[in-house]
Structure 1
Amino acid sequence: MDRRTFVQSTLTALCVAPALGFVRPSRSMPPWLLELVKLNDDGLVALRALQSKEAGTLGGVRDGHDILNPHSTFALILWGSCALFAPSSRYFRSEGLREDVRLAAEYLVKTQHADGTIDLLSTNFHSPPDTAFLVKRLVTAYGFLEQSGTPGVERVLAPLKTFLTRAGEALIVGGIHTPNHRWVVAAALAQLHTRWPDPRYRARAEQWLQERIDIDADGQYNEKSTFIYSSLSDRVLITIARGLNKPELLDYVRQNLDMTLYYVHPNGEIVTDASGRQDKAVVGTLENYYYPYRYLALRDQNGTYAAMCALIERTAGQKLRGHLDYYLADEALWAPLPPAKSPPVSYVKTFPNSGLVRVRREQWDSTLIARNPVFFTFMHGQAVLQGLRLAASFFGKGQFQTETLVQKEKSWELTQRLEGPYYQPYPAGQLPTQDGDWEKMPRTARPQSEVQHLETRVLIRETNHGMEVEISSEGTDRVPVALELIFRPGGTFAGLTPHASLPNTWFMEKGTGTYTFQNDRIQFGPGLHLHKNTALRGALPAMDAPTVFLTGFTPFRQVLTFSAAST
């Protein structure tokens, strides 16, 4: 087969293959997929050990807190079905594993509420969206089991179908909490409709879709959750596009994937600083994006997406097993990727809707962030400045944070203006109470006097080898100021003075300092050390990370440089 014919056949498969129409593999799996199957086998050993074999809880799986729950039980069904289906698995058609999966399916039915929902025991009860998270992948598991040829598999299919069809009744009427839940529920309904066609499934999915996809001009979804929920939205929108024949939904996925190209640190981690969910500022890699990048790299013959797949394989390869079911279910994904085209590695990119600016120059990068007490980060390979924070002892409200990030020529400006008033006696004749109750005399009605002011301005600009941060704070004199340089644990410092009593805390008295992690180094400075107070009143608590303090008083001005240095 020549390349043109091969490419056309691959595109056809990706465009028209039904969401669940997979069959026994018709050709050998590629090496990367064989490795994921092996990793899945290894993970099943620990998961099966957590399954209860006791009467009353038979089949349920415990989590790390020793709590039997639907989600851990679901995991055994999903990963077990992958192993029973994959010919290279050491559990292929295993009757022992089949029995464990059967018990898990029966336990899942027992824990299902009469309305078809399940509980997420950490927070949500009788939860349609958490039910949908399970359904959208258990329908695939059902297909694996059905096609596996495992002896006696019908004993697993029966309880699993019971769970899924009952859950479908819940999803036809159930509500949601967050923006991404709409697409998860719609994807689960699309999966159910493909497996057991029912016009009610499609109609309910269409109800959610009529709200339109929550993506902004930057290419970011509403929750701005780059590690968890943006990639989730990409995956489930692909599922809906395929299951309900809505290829136009793929345009939203492309927008997000194009944006994500600029959210990549040189070490393969993803920028999470502007997230609005629980992944804010976490350390995360890109494994959750592999499926959408691979799917669209092949569908569109997109070399940049192919290069992102290669990057993810290199930096987070073993973590790809978390979506093994996606890759097993679609043989078209096994095709070789198109020739790679390098993603952007040197740029300045602004994302106004997220209040974020990204600066990257090959092996170092920096993130500027509005609406966040951490307003600046700098990374050189594995050496990471996790953030700068600034605080002043100003009426208990001096933690620096700004709503805007404004570009002014070659600099970006963040500004905060604070007032600290005193209050006069309550106006005569306007006292709302006669019992002296302070709470009934609001400050807003009192005249102000001796009003103090503090204006802080941060200017950030690029230099030849890194970034420069200029900080000025003035208005009221003699206000103590502390600047925190917060680093990722694991490296070593030079040029600093350890705090006399606090662990992981240093002062930078003068000159420059360095932070070295393996073969990567950040040089920073100059220092300033005019007092020893590292816990100013009104400031946020110290982070559990190595922190360097620069301290002074207003009027305060300091220009700091951060550069990628050779070891």
Structure 2
Amino acid sequence: MDRRQFVKNSALTLCALPVIPAAGIVPSRADQMPEWLRALVKQADKAIESLQNLQVKDSKSPDLGGVRDGFDLLNPHSTSALIQWGASGLFSPSSKFHQSRELLADMDLAASYLIKTQHQDGTIDLLSTNFHSTPDTGFLVKRLTMAYVLIEKSGTEGAPKMLANLKTFLLRAGDALSVGGIHTPNHRWVVSAALMKLNELWPNPKYVARAEQWLAEHIDIDRDGQYNEKSTFIYSSLTDRLLITIGKRLNKPELFDAVRKNLDMTMYYLHPNGEIVTDASGRQDKAIVGTLENYYYPYRFFALRDGNGQYAAMCRLIEKTAGLKTAGFLDYLLTDPSLWKELPADKPLPVNYVKTFPNSGLVRIRRDSWDSTLIANNPVWFTFMKGNAVLQGVRFASSFFGKGQFQSEKIAENGKEWVLTQKLDGPYFQPYPKESIAPDGDWEKMPRNFRPQSEVQILETKVMIRETSGGMEIEVVTNGTERVPAALELIFRPGGTLKGVSKIENTKDAWLLKEATGSYEMGGDTITFGPGLALHKNIALRGALPAMEAPTVFLTGFTPFKHVIRFS
């Protein structure tokens, strides 16, 4: 299972876990662990069993020791996961795998497989996309160093042999991390954090020098409190964890300021049901449904370090809404018993606000039990959530020259409304300049941008979004070319029940709101919306994005299009 697949399966999520000096870790009796921590240990036991069942144990197989992923591929990531999770089991007195020699033997096979699949330069492959990959090597190292410490301190009989194999893999990886390149902004901190973990176990000046070289580029955090990738579910929280690790190991507490800034911002990216806003992400988590388990360690670390009551409240909210998903960070908690302490008293979280994040092109409006997000540079530019009922996106499109999908470069605040705009043109083209005509008549040799334009059509669209007494309203107005078919698209989260709408024949899950008011109910919560408009049934407009795999209600008309729809 590759790194991206792990993100989707929280029980096996690969996480960056900081470690305190080995001397600070001592085996503890089960009754010294708080109950919530013992629950996470039980959850980890399930992951260990699952990984053991996926391991190749045929002594005659060339793949001996490897662990298959969900696609039946043997790879370093799923193989290292057995060592990572297994270490927690060996170390934890409340685990069924505590000091298990059988599990240790499986982990030794996995370590040998990692050595066998490691390239001569010390790197490993991420089979879904990256080969001879320094950053993916870093993702493994930052966890396996934690595993090394836990195994060493577990007191498991026969551990030195297994640790010798693991050390071989890690030191070779350290050579790669000291010189190798990266792809994305967060990879710099992945590599640096992994080097700091190696340096803790086997000090080496080149590890520190390379981390300092990456840090010289400064932290990529903006005034909003967001990192470059704007990846709120995956990479922002990852960067928080990595910077904590680097800051502790290099004694650079100034790195913590960026983490706090991101954690403060994230409190305003919180839906009432405990999900996180992902609509502005620049990575693969864009618009996915995600909870906050990835932020648990940073919030807990600073809640205790700073005595921050709001961060403590976030921890308790994550425990309530994400629960056992936080088991992905068990390594953090086992290696730092100071995190077992009781959190400080809660302070209220922001639940009633209008907050603008200009660098992310995002506006957040929340009123206790409902919230809305406005998004620039995105074909989905509005969401509305009321408890379990979720309008996960609104889109607008016209069949204007095959390029009529509405998207606004920015969100402008105008008094008590937010305005999104788009201007499109649709020209026709005259004969090519005589002196430049290609003798062989090759169309490609006569670029259209050199042809005179005529009959230029213009379509301007303005979307005005306003807060109402019980929700939000959207007004869409177009000017310019007339009689262009257009459609407003309301995309709801699958699983609920629509009422007051008419099914469009020969579609899977498309509906029209013809006149009055419709509703969407899910889990006891209801969103009402209307009034409707249905002047045609052409919902597959040329140039518009394909329909999403979700129940979708359409409002249809022609330009000049002018309609107001309210949500409550």
**Normalised-by-shorter TM-score class:** over 0.9
Asked if residue 541 in structure 1 is aligned to residue 543 in structure 2, the reply is: no
Kindly state the Cα deviation for residue 20 of structure 1 after the two structures are TM-superposed.
Answer: 7.6
Residue 499 of structure 1: aligned partner: 504
In the alignment, which of 550, 558, 562 is matched to residue 557 of structure 1?
562
Kindly state the Cα deviation for residue 539 of structure 1 after the two structures are TM-superposed.
Answer: 0.4
Residue 314 of structure 1: aligned partner: 320
Residue 478 of structure 1: aligned partner: 483
Letter of the 1:511 counterpart: A
Letter of the 1:22 counterpart: I
Residue 39 of structure 2: aligned partner: 35
Q: How does 1:158-197 map to 2 (within 5 A)?
A: 158-197=164-203
SS at match of 1:389: strand
Counterpart-to-counterpart distance in 2, 1:79 and 1:147: 15
Asked if residue 459 in structure 1 is aligned to residue 464 in structure 2, the reply is: yes
Residues 268-303 of structure 1: per-residue CA shift (max 9 Å, x gap)? 000000000000000000000000000000000000
Q: How does 1:149-548 map to 2 (within 5 A)?
A: 149-431=155-437, 433-548=438-553
Q: How does 1:59-208 map to 2 (within 5 A)?
A: 59-208=65-214
Q: How many residues end up aligned between the 2 structures?
A: 548
**TM-score normalised by the chain length of structure 2:** 0.95
Counterpart-to-counterpart distance in 2, 1:99 and 1:413: 62
SS at match of 1:269: coil
Counterpart-to-counterpart distance in 2, 1:423 and 1:17: 68
Residues 477-534 of structure 1: per-residue CA shift (max 9 Å, x gap)? 1000011100000000110001111011101100000000021000000000000101
Counterpart-to-counterpart distance in 2, 1:258 and 1:494: 39
Residues 20, 335 of structure 2: 8 Å contact kept = no
Counterpart-to-counterpart distance in 2, 1:271 and 1:335: 30
Residue 6 of structure 1: aligned partner: none
Counterpart-to-counterpart distance in 2, 1:43 and 1:493: 38
Specify whether residues 450 and 114 from structure 1 end up closer, same or farther in structure 2 by C-alpha distance, changes over 3 A only.
same
Residues 384, 392 of structure 2: 8 Å contact kept = yes
SS at match of 1:542: coil
Kindly state the Cα deviation for residue 429 of structure 1 after the two structures are TM-superposed.
Answer: 1.8
RMSD, aligned α-carbons: 1.2
SS at match of 1:295: helix
Residue 5 of structure 2: aligned partner: none
Kindly state the Cα deviation for residue 23 of structure 1 after the two structures are TM-superposed.
Answer: 2.6
Counterpart-to-counterpart distance in 2, 1:446 and 1:269: 51
Counterpart-to-counterpart distance in 2, 1:280 and 1:17: 33
Counterpart-to-counterpart distance in 1, 2:477 and 2:536: 17
Residue 28 of structure 2: aligned partner: 25
Residue 3 of structure 1: aligned partner: none
Residues 337-357 of structure 1: per-residue CA shift (max 9 Å, x gap)? 000001101100000000000
Kindly state the Cα deviation for residue 428 of structure 1 after the two structures are TM-superposed.
Answer: 2.4
Letter of the 1:558 counterpart: H
Residue 11 of structure 1: aligned partner: none
Letter of the 1:36 counterpart: L
Asked if residue 51 in structure 1 is aligned to residue 58 in structure 2, the reply is: no
Kindly state the Cα deviation for residue 16 of structure 1 after the two structures are TM-superposed.
Answer: 12
Letter of the 2:44 counterpart: N
Kindly state the Cα deviation for residue 43 of structure 1 after the two structures are TM-superposed.
Answer: 1.7
Counterpart-to-counterpart distance in 2, 1:489 and 1:441: 48
SS at match of 1:247: coil
Kindly state the Cα deviation for residue 18 of structure 1 after the two structures are TM-superposed.
Answer: 3.8
Letter of the 1:547 counterpart: T
SS at match of 1:61: coil
Residues 20, 191 of structure 1: 8 Å contact kept = no
Residues 125-166 of structure 1: per-residue CA shift (max 9 Å, x gap)? 000000000001111100001000000111210100000000
Residues 16, 242 of structure 1: 8 Å contact kept = no
Residues 35-89 of structure 1: per-residue CA shift (max 9 Å, x gap)? 0000001221111000001221111000001111000001000000100001110
Residues 391, 490 of structure 2: 8 Å contact kept = yes
Q: Which runs of 5+ in 2 are unaligned?
A: 1-17
Consecutive aligned runs of 4 or more in structure 1 exceeding 4 Å deviation? none
Specify whether residues 280 and 19 from structure 1 end up closer, same or farther in structure 2 by C-alpha distance, changes over 3 A only.
farther
Kindly state the Cα deviation for residue 444 of structure 1 after the two structures are TM-superposed.
Answer: 1.0
Deviates more, 1:370-379 or 1:46-55: 46-55
Residue 12 of structure 2: aligned partner: none
